[in-house]
Amino acid sequence: MKPRRESSRDLTRERILATVDAIPRGCVATYGQIAEEAGLPRRARLVGRALSDLPSGSRLPWHRVVAAGGRIAVKGSAAREQRRRLVAEGLRFSRPGRVELGRSAWLP
């Protein structure tokens, strides 16, 4: 097989996914936080991009990633699914669509 050179974009994506994979159960991290942890400061959008490209059925804890302030960023059925999973992990919501970051933010 032709040895595939991994593009820098692929490596970046891998770092993002690995960081998401490291969020412990019962915690949430923000897009910006993930970017920061992955060594990609100010590139929160890239994190959202990587997650939106995730194949359905992925094992990654994508539901532990929320927008700034604990806001659920996804819409529609995905939002309900995320909420369902977070509730199942014992997270508390201040209002529908907003998790209490102060209580369960991931501290790497």
Write out the residues near DNA by the rule CB under 7 A.
Answer: 9, 30-32, 42-49, 51-52, 54, 62-63, 65, 67-68, 71, 73-75, 78, 82
In terms of CB distance, is 31 or 106 closer to DNA?
31
Q: Tell me the closest approach of the beta carbon of residue 25 to DNA, in angstroms.
A: 16
Helix (H, G, I), strand (E, B) or coil at 105: strand
CB-based contacts of 93, cutoff 8 Å, min separation 6: 83, 86, 87, 99, 100
What secondary structure does DSSP assign to 71-84, as a single string?
B----THHHHHHHH
In terms of CB distance, is 53 or 92 closer to DNA?
53
Q: Tell me the closest approach of the beta carbon of residue 62 to DNA, in angstroms.
A: 4
